Amino acid sequence: MKTIGWAAIIYTIHDAYTFGALVLLVAGELAAAYASGKRLKPDVRKKLSSRRLS
């Protein structure tokens, strides 16, 4: 029974780490998008997108 208990504890921690990693990933993506949005002015973004299209 001890091994089942340890397996359950390890699985729970592993699940928590996976969840934490996902949260960090999403938070990082949002932070990067926010930072790039603040850095680039709207008119600069339009110029960049028009250059990419042409």
The full DSSP string for 10-44 is HHHHHHHHHHHHHHHHHHHHHHHHHHHHHHS-HHH
pLDDT of residue 52: 54
Distances (CA, A) of 2 to 9, 12, 13: 11, 15, 17
Mean pLDDT of 8-27: 84
- 1 or 54, greater pLDDT: 1
Q: Grade residue 16 by pLDDT with cuts at 50, 70 and 90.
A: confident
pLDDT of residue 3: 77
Q: What is the pTM of this model?
A: 0.46
The domains of the chain are located at: 2-53
